């Protein structure tokens, strides 16, 4: 096998030796491990599949939950932006995962062939005389051959990493728990290298920094997202006419969203597009101008369209609700509640109505007993059908009322909590106040109702923020999951464990492979994790709050991707959802049971993936070496 003359390996002076061109390894050891390449691609597919079924759902969970996009639309947009993010920006994070946490040069050592016992024995490096004869073509010594790179052990370790991450990610997705692929990969990589090389080569400072970022990043993302939502609350939601306020602020939010994300993408960006040659001020000016142009177009040319679209979407929602309510009311049957039990009730001609006392006690062990619906105090003494009819009539009257009056005139502050109630749900326990009567700081922890038309204005903003978050996800997490495959591929192609990924043109194909596998996972299994992100962590996800969550998450992930820190987008997204949920609805709006379950699985992610990686690496090294 031939190698590039620019590569380095241990040996010679100062522990490293620069090889001349066209060094031929004897024998060509990688020819015996082609099966490992095929296995690596298969495992990498399942790793990216698991990430698509899990991590990628963070990008679109809030958008689907808020009703901004339908699930099939999320599939298409996710496919587009994740792929571009991985191909254009992914190489930098891939390099950090592949060689930033372990000094892979410790795997660039040789074995000598011992003719007496007919086997290879690992040594620190080949005999310098043998190295010279290989490089110059001079006849070699008969008793020693420069035979085999132990980089094959590095290849086995990366297979173990892929196996550990794939198993953990897919199981977590089936059980609907959002976990971090980055978290799992770092744990698996650390496990195999501790087994193969011990403490040698482990970059503990970098690992501590990465692990620290997992705890700090959700807090920072949450704080940023909360600040964005508070800005929306004070500039839009607290205004008397929040709908027009939203239309006025929409261009400004559009400018901020585009400027921040474009700057993060192009500053020190893709060398394939020439962005790596831009100075910081050039990237900043370009980002500012693009954001300003789009904001100007939105304000002067698209304001009317955004307004009409918001009203149309809201009216469509009202029609759907009225149809669902009418259908429920039509199904009400005037029949008082009865304690009679019908046996085999599928066919009324084959049933026997009996009162509960007529049955023998043991029959109640397998007999379904009807449960009377719970009614409120003012409905006591009424049949269940009467109560249902009254509820239907009240609901219909509410839908036919002026839909925006309550939002434009007043709000109600519940005396027992900081939650804001609209339309005086319990007038005996509320105090009607106008918005200016509250001190400004109370709005920091007071839930404010979101007028439906106002929320619809944020639909377009949320779609843009979700798309940019998906782009950043491709740049960060898709690249992370492909990193072990990149390590296997480069080791196979060059013979070295240490090869600069950016110098290889085939890097983009590997990143595209990971992006495609991720899309397959998102389409086939992603709906489970989307349900949890959208509906189970916090009680209410709307377009304004979803926009804040996505922008805060994208901001944090893109910044970390630019500096090469493999941060977890899952941690950032969950942190943003949590903080915005508290800001919007107070702690009462958070499902702490679900959150505890998520954190518990996060804590298990690192050791479980590491254990699987260790076991697979142990098996491979004992079997094939």
- pLDDT tens digits, residue range 552-563? 887 887 777 677
Residue 515 lies in a domain: yes
Alpha carbon distance 98, 484 (integer Å) = 6
Quickly count: other Cβ atoms within 10 Å of residue 195's Cβ.
18
Quickly count: other Cβ atoms within 10 Å of residue 24's Cβ.
13
Burial of 259 (0-12, 13-18, 19+ CB in 10 A): buried
Residue 200 lies in a domain: yes
Half-sphere CA count of 493, side-chain side, radius 13 A: 15
In contact, 496 and 350? CB cutoff 8 Å: no
Give the single-character DSSP code of 412.
E
Q: What is the dihedral of CA 449, 454, 457, 462, to 10 degrees?
A: 0
Residue 607 lies in a domain: yes
Q: Phi-psi category of 624—alpha, beta or left, where left has phi over 0 and alpha has psi -120 to 50? A: alpha
3-state DSSP helix/strand/coil % of the chain, to nearest 5? 70, 5, 25
Q: How many domains is the chain partitioned into structurally? A: 1
Residue 501 lies in a domain: yes
- Give yes or no for residue 545 having a pLDDT over 80: yes
Note the pTM of the prediction, 2 decimals.
Answer: 0.69
Q: Which structural domain, as residue segments, surrounds residue 520?
A: 36-108+150-301+451-624
Taking only the tens place, the pLDDT of each residue in 71-127 is 888 888 888 888 888 777 665 555 556 556 787 777 765 555 456 666 545 554 444
pLDDT (average), residues 354-379:
56
Taking only the tens place, the pLDDT of each residue in 562-618 is 776 767 777 888 888 888 888 887 666 678 888 888 889 888 998 999 999 999 999
In contact, 243 and 453? CB cutoff 8 Å: yes
Which range has the top average pLDDT, 126-130, 466-470, 473-477? 466-470
β pairing state of 353-354 and 110-114: unpaired
Residue 528 lies in a domain: yes
What is the rounded average pLDDT for all residues in the chain?
Answer: 72
Beta bridge partners of 148: 111
Taking only the tens place, the pLDDT of each residue in 235-258 is 998 888 899 999 999 999 999 988
pLDDT score, position 44: 92
175 band by pLDDT with thresholds 50, 70 and 90: confident
In contact, 161 and 181? CB cutoff 8 Å: no
291 band by pLDDT with thresholds 50, 70 and 90: very high
Selection from 146, 176, 2 nearest residue 525 by Cα: 176
Residue 408 lies in a domain: no
- Give yes or no for residue 397 having a pLDDT over 80: no
- Give yes or no for residue 232 having a pLDDT over 90: yes
pLDDT score, position 331: 59
Does residue 404 or residue 511 have the better pLDDT? 511
Which residue's structure tokens are 């101008």?
A: 289
**Tokens encoding 486:** 């990149």
pLDDT (average), residues 155-179:
90
pLDDT (average), residues 439-457:
79
pLDDT score, position 616: 96
Residue 415 lies in a domain: no
Give the single-character DSSP code of 26.
S
Does residue 137 or residue 181 have the better pLDDT? 181
pLDDT score, position 18: 32
Alpha carbon distance 511, 507 (integer Å) = 6
Residue 96 lies in a domain: yes
| Alpha-helix residue ranges (DSSP H) falling in 34-70 | 34-53, 57-65
Helix axes 303-330, 280-300, angle to 10 degrees: 60
Task: Report percent pLDDT > 70 for the chain.
Answer: 62
């Amino acid at each position: 096998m031939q190698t590039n003359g620019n590569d380095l390996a241990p040996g010679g002076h100062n522990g490293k030796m620069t090889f001349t061109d066209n060094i031929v390894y004897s024998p060509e050891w990688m020819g015996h491990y082609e099966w490992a390449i095929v296995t690596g691609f298969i495992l990498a597919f399942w790793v990216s599949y698991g990430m698509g079924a899990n991590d990628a759902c963070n990008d679109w969970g809030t958008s689907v939950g808020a009703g901004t996009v339908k699930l099939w639309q999320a599939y298409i947009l996710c496919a587009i932006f994740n792929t571009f993010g991985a191909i254009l920006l992914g190489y930098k994070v891939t390099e950090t995962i592949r060689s930033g946490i372990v000094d892979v040069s410790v795997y660039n050592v040789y074995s000598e062939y011992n003719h007496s016992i007919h086997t290879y024995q690992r040594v620190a490096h080949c005999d310098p005389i043998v190295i010279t004869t290989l490089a110059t073509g001079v006849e070699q010594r008969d008793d020693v051959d420069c035979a085999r790179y132990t980089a094959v052990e590095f290849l086995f370790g990366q297979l173990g990493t892929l196996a550990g991450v794939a198993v953990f990610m897919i199981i977590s997705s089936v059980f609907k728990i959002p976990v971090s692929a980055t978290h799992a990969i770092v744990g698996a990589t650390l496990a195999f290298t501790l087994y193969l090389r011990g403490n040698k080569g482990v970059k503990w400072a970098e690992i501590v920094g990465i692990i620290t970022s997992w705890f700090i990043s959700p807090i920072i993302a949450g704080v940023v997202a909360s600040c964005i939502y508070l800005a929306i609350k004070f500039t839009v939601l607290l205004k008397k006419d929040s709908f027009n306020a939203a239309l006025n602020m929409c261009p400004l939010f559009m400018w901020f969203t585009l400027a921040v994300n474009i700057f993060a993408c192009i500053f020190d960006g893709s060398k394939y597009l020439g962005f790596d040659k831009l100075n910081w001020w050039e990237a900043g000016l370009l980002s500012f101008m693009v954001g300003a142009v789009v904001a100007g177009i939105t304000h002067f040319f698209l304001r009317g369209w955004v307004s009409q679209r918001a009203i149309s979407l809201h009216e469509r929602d009202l029609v759907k609700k009225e149809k669902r309510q009418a259908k429920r009311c039509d199904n009400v049957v005037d029949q008082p509640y009865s304690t009679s039990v019908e046996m085999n009730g599928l066919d009324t001609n084959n049933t026997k109505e009996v009162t509960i006392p007529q049955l023998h006690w043991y029959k109640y062990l397998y007999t379904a007993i009807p449960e009377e619906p719970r009614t409120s105090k003012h409905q006591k003494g009424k049949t269940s059908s009467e109560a249902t009819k009254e509820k239907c009539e009240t609901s219909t009257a509410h839908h036919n009322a002026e839909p925006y009056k309550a939002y434009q005139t007043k709000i109600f502050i519940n005396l027992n909590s900081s939650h804001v109630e609209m339309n005086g749900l319990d007038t005996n326990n509320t105090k009607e106040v106008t918005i200016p009567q509250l001190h400004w700081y109370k709005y920091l922890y007071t839930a404010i109702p979101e007028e439906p038309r106002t929320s619809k204005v944020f639909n377009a903003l949320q779609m843009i923020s979700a798309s940019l978050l998906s782009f950043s996800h491709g740049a960060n997490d898709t690249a992370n999951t492909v990193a072990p495959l990149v390590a296997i591929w480069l080791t196979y192609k060059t013979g070295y464990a240490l090869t600069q990924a950016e110098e290889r043109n085939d890097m983009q194909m590997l990143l595209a492979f990971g992006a495609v596998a991720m899309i397959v996972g998102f389409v086939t299994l992603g709906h489970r994790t989307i349900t949890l992100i959208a509906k189970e962590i916090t009680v209410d996800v709307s377009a304004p709050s979803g926009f804040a969550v996505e922008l805060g998450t994208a901001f944090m992930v893109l910044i970390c991707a630019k500096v090469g820190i493999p941060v977890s987008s899952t941690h950032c997204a969950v942190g943003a959802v949590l903080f915005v949920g508290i800001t919007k609805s107070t702690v009462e709006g958070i499902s702490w049971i679900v959150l505890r379950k998520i954190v518990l699985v996060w804590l298990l992610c690192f050791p479980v993936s590491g254990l699987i990686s260790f076991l697979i690496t142990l098996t491979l090294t004992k079997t094939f070496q």
